[in-house]
Amino acid sequence: MPSSVVNLTVNGREQEFLARPAESLLTSLRDRLGLMAAKRGCAQGSCGTCTVLVDDKPVMSCLVAVETIEAAEVRTLEGVADGERLDEVQQAFLDGFATQCGFCTAGMIMTAEALLAENPDPTHDEVVEAISGNVCRCTGYRAIVAAILDAAGRRK
């Protein structure tokens, strides 16, 4: 079962590592690169907590065979803050108590980052649709949607 060498740009840094056949991007991020923000939830694309950006698009990293995205640009929650300074989405989540247990937060924030990059002034319904693949099992959706709208306002 030969592993293969994979190259990715992760949060702006070039990374080279070995991956087993059909290894998921999520496994590579967590187990090879030590980036633990993206969580392993359902492993079948239902929960969204492993959401990261691949070439600027939010995808569930558990569903991506990492060797098939050689040379892609990947962005995870670790690449969002500027050192100790949180970005607007993170700060809005913090200020708006939009994290409860926190397990969905990394996926929620990456989905929100992609939404706001594409649509800087989303409506409430557009936010709801954008995060419809991200499950919050604390059911704290109201605060999460409000935080994303708040972040959009902070960026104006």
Partner 1 sequence: MITAVRMPESAEAAAEAAARGGRVMAGGTVVMAEVNTGPVADTELISLRHAGLSGITVNEGVARVGATTTFAELRSGLGFLSEAIRTLASPTIRNLATVGGNLFVPQPYGDFAVCLLALDATVEIAEGQETPIAEWNRRPGEIVTAVRFAVPREGTWFYHKAMRRKLNSAAIVTVAAVVDRDTVRVALGGVAPGPVRSPAAERVLRGQELTRDVLDAAGEAALADIDPRDDAYASAWYRRRVLPVHVRRAFQNEEA
73 CB-contact burial (10 Å; exposed 0-12 / middle 13-18 / buried 19+)? middle
Site for partner 1 contains 112 (CB under 8 A): no
CB 39 within 8 A of CB 47: no
> How many residues at the interface with partner 1, by CB under 8 A?
28
Contact residue for partner 1 among 6, 48, 96, 148 (CB under 8 A):
48
Site for partner 1 contains 22 (CB under 8 A): yes
Mark the segment that binds partner 1 (CB under 8 A) among 31-39, 51-59, 81-89, 141-149. 51-59
Give the up-direction half-sphere exposure of residue 102: CA atoms within 13 A in the CB hemisphere. 5
Site for partner 1 contains 57 (CB under 8 A): yes
Least distance in angstroms from the C-beta of 123 to partner 1: 14
Strand partners, 18: 5
Site for partner 1 contains 89 (CB under 8 A): no
Phi and psi at 23, nearest 5°, equal -60, 140
Give the residues lining the site for partner 1 (CB under 8 A).
Answer: 1-2, 21-22, 24, 43-45, 48, 51, 57-60, 62-65, 67-69, 111, 128-130, 132-134
